[in-house]
Structure 1
Amino acid sequence: MSRSVVLLGGPDTGKTNYIGRVWPALDAAKGRLQIVQQPSDITFVLEVTDHLHSGNFAPRSEHAVARRDFEAVVRGRDGGGEASIVIPDISGELWLNAVKHAEISVDWMDELCRSSGAVLFVRVGSDQDIRPLDWVTSRRMMTRVRSPDDPGLPTQVVLCELIRFLEMSLTSRSCGGLPRVSLVVSAWDLVDREVFSRGPKAWLEREYPLVAGRLGDIERLDVQVFGLSIVGGDLRVDEDCRSAVQEEGLDGRGWIAVEGPNGEWTKDDDLTLPIAWAVGV
């Protein structure tokens, strides 16, 4: 049975680099989700993986026009049947424009309506993050500026609107359960030990309180929050991490932060977990 899993999020949230890491994880057959049938075309995935092997994150694909899908037949490690997953690499600009103009193309809306799961990305420390103005401290400055540049919609407003898109569009799972959404906080390796121990849920409450409140008010979606590290460090500034990737490859690098039964957060090296949750494995 085909289960389209849509990856979505604003610009610079880590979607493309995650796809480049998920393919080797699926192929290695060591995670919760395993490959059954090889994809017919994984050219763009291999291009992303090559960038990572060279010690660099893949360039942003935000202005890409051509649709690039990653399709594969997978099954759970412990059984449970097979599923054909379709993961479109959709530009973050497309999602951002959909929120700004309250409209989305028929093609992408059909994709959402065919999907019973999604992976929604937000990133720690992104230079694309837009915060709402503090009108108390900004009032005097704004009165002196005739036509200030519009910074755009605050990131947390965009995230809330994307959640609304998913609530309206995702179809129920084949078992009759609610559609599943994995909310992934990428670049989780940048946070300190104390923030890690509190987990990405607490980080969302502090950084994006509107989003955290929205998650607590959802009835039609089943949401799970994860933290993500693509390679275990920031390749742009961490020379040790970059050298290790170039010399030793990607095996054993990267992890998912997951919440335990007692609320503790730990690292799991299975990078397929967010998709496995969204698929229902």
Structure 2
Amino acid sequence: MNSGSVMLVGGPGSGKTNYIARLWLAFKARKGALRAERLPTNIHYVDDAVRHLMARKFAPRSERNIEDGRRDFVIEVRGNGGAGVPKKISVPDITGELWKRAVETYELPQEWIDEFKGSSSAILFLRAHTKLNAQPMDWVTARDMLQMHAAVVDDELGDDYDEEDEDDEAEGEKGSVAARSISGPAVVAAEPGAEAAATEQGESVSHIQPKAPKLPAQVGFCELLRYLELLLTDRPDGSRPRVAVVVTAWDMLDDEAKRAGPMQYLKKEFPLFAGRVQTPGRLDIELFGMSIVGGNLKGRPEFRESLKGRDLSEVGYTAVMKSGVMAEDPDVTLPLAWALGD
């Protein structure tokens, strides 16, 4: 049996948790190109996300700290509608807040760097039309900032969406994290309580936890791809690591944008990132759109009401290019199946 990890990558509110919930419904119903023979039982956070969907709500963005403990799950899957070779895969629980910190500070905890050593597959999530996507600076500044990130790495080396909380800023994690820059030595963040203690003494805390500059979303997306290119391993057959780029909330796009497909959407909204996707380096990249339930649960009460009593494994779809034409395929396992090579 083959085994490995699939890395789910994306910042806060990008849709990772809701995708896992919808994927789980597909596994339970045995629908899609990728099938699971048996479902694990110790996956409370996935069950919680599914309960939110069953209540016709998106799962809330995780507010837990990085230190609260990992919630990975391991599952055996088969491709080709269940007829393929069994694969035991682990989906590591890397929070959106951790990825946000990684692109702002160039740091990633050692345990996650180690996790990449056994992985040659990843899904990168970005959400369409969300206020959490910082607007770009002028192009010269954005270019210079991206080059600054690249220079630091080159010199040294030689996740969840909740519409109710969309206007809130994800402020990062509390407490201490032993982390290592992928381009440098170990560093340790401020100890728990250090900021409060300094404040009580009337001292400045800027030297303890400096506020990182807010990167334009597309610069952050480029940095996430850089992490994947640096850390993912080649596939067992020697081919390039696979990264499925998934644009979530696809149903929020207008009909013209849907027909044009994910690449045209990226070129319009995030041209810097689109250019990076078109020059994938050692990665094999494929683009998908994703609608978890096929419509807007918050903005359209009539749509939410229409889901009452329905089997949610029958709603939602993957937007994928077929024979040069965009199609809405009901199989939400397609990005994961592609990333695994099935």
- Choose which of 76, 79, 87 in structure 2 pairs with 1:76: 79
Residue number in structure 1 paired with 2:338:
277
Q: 1:64 offset after TM fit, Å?
A: 4.0
Q: Report the 3-state secondary structure (helix = DSSP H, G, I; strand = E; otherwise coil) of the residue aligned with 1:247.
A: coil
Q: TM-score, normalised by structure 2?
A: 0.75
When residues 175 and 235 of structure 1 are mapped into structure 2, their CA distance, relative to the original with a 3 A threshold, is same
Amino acid paired to 1:221:
L
How many Å separate the matches in 1 of 2:110 and 2:37? 31
How many Å separate the matches in 2 of 1:62 and 1:92? 10
How many Å separate the matches in 1 of 2:282 and 2:41? 34
1:31 equivalent to 2:92? Answer no
Q: Report the 3-state secondary structure (helix = DSSP H, G, I; strand = E; otherwise coil) of the residue aligned with 2:84.
A: strand
How many Å separate the matches in 1 of 2:16 and 2:100? 14
When residues 62 and 108 of structure 1 are mapped into structure 2, their CA distance, relative to the original with a 3 A threshold, is farther
When residues 61 and 2 of structure 1 are mapped into structure 2, their CA distance, relative to the original with a 3 A threshold, is same
Q: 1:151 offset after TM fit, Å?
A: 6.3
Q: TM-score, normalised by structure 1?
A: 0.91
For each residue in 1:12-67, what CA deviation from the matched residue of structure 2 results, as whole angstroms up to 9, or x when unmatched? 11000000010111222221100023224121111101001111111101544332
How many Å separate the matches in 2 of 1:97 and 1:228? 25
Residue number in structure 2 paired with 1:92:
96
Q: 1:81 offset after TM fit, Å?
A: 0.9
- Choose which of 230, 233, 236 in structure 2 pairs with 1:171: 233
- 1:218-229 pair list within 5 angstroms: 218-229=280-291
How many Å separate the matches in 2 of 1:250 and 1:175? 37
When residues 2 and 239 of structure 1 are mapped into structure 2, their CA distance, relative to the original with a 3 A threshold, is same
Contact 1:63-1:93 within 8 A present in 2 as well = no
Query: Tell me, which stretches of 5 or more residues in structure 1 are unaligned?
Result: 137-148
Amino acid paired to 1:109:
I
- Choose which of 140, 153, 163 in structure 1 pairs with 2:215: 153
Residue number in structure 1 paired with 2:302:
240
For each residue in 1:173-200, what CA deviation from the matched residue of structure 2 results, as whole angstroms up to 9, or x when unmatched? 1222211110000000011111111001
Q: 1:135 offset after TM fit, Å?
A: 8.2
Q: 1:71 offset after TM fit, Å?
A: 1.7
Q: 1:260 offset after TM fit, Å?
A: 1.1
How many Å separate the matches in 2 of 1:28 and 1:247? 16
Q: Report the 3-state secondary structure (helix = DSSP H, G, I; strand = E; otherwise coil) of the residue aligned with 1:162.
A: helix
- Choose which of 102, 119, 130 in structure 1 pairs with 2:134: 130
For each residue in 1:126-165, what CA deviation from the matched residue of structure 2 results, as whole angstroms up to 9, or x when unmatched? 12110123489xxxxxxxxxxxx98601111111011010
- Choose which of 199, 211, 222 in structure 1 pairs with 2:273: 211
How many Å separate the matches in 2 of 1:257 and 1:135? 30
Residue number in structure 2 paired with 1:61:
62
Q: 1:247 offset after TM fit, Å?
A: 2.9
Residue number in structure 1 paired with 2:122:
118
Contact 1:167-1:221 within 8 A present in 2 as well = yes
Q: 1:170 offset after TM fit, Å?
A: 0.6
How many Å separate the matches in 2 of 1:112 and 1:277? 18
Q: 1:109 offset after TM fit, Å?
A: 1.0
Residue number in structure 1 paired with 2:8:
7
Amino acid paired to 2:224:
L
Residue number in structure 1 paired with 2:243:
181
How many Å separate the matches in 1 of 2:130 and 2:71? 24
Contact 2:105-2:212 within 8 A present in 1 as well = no
How many Å separate the matches in 1 of 2:97 and 2:39? 30
Amino acid paired to 2:40:
P
Contact 2:116-2:231 within 8 A present in 1 as well = yes
Let me know the Cα RMSD of the aligned residues. Answer: 1.8
For each residue in 1:212-266, what CA deviation from the matched residue of structure 2 results, as whole angstroms up to 9, or x when unmatched? 11111112111000000000111111112211223324131100000012x2101
When residues 104 and 267 of structure 1 are mapped into structure 2, their CA distance, relative to the original with a 3 A threshold, is same
Contact 1:11-1:62 within 8 A present in 2 as well = no
Contact 2:29-2:313 within 8 A present in 1 as well = no
Residue number in structure 1 paired with 2:224:
162
Q: How many residues align?
A: 268
Amino acid paired to 2:334:
L
Query: Tell me, which stretches of 5 or more residues in structure 2 are unaligned?
Result: 141-210
More moved, 40-49 vs 160-169: 40-49
Residue number in structure 1 paired with 2:327:
266
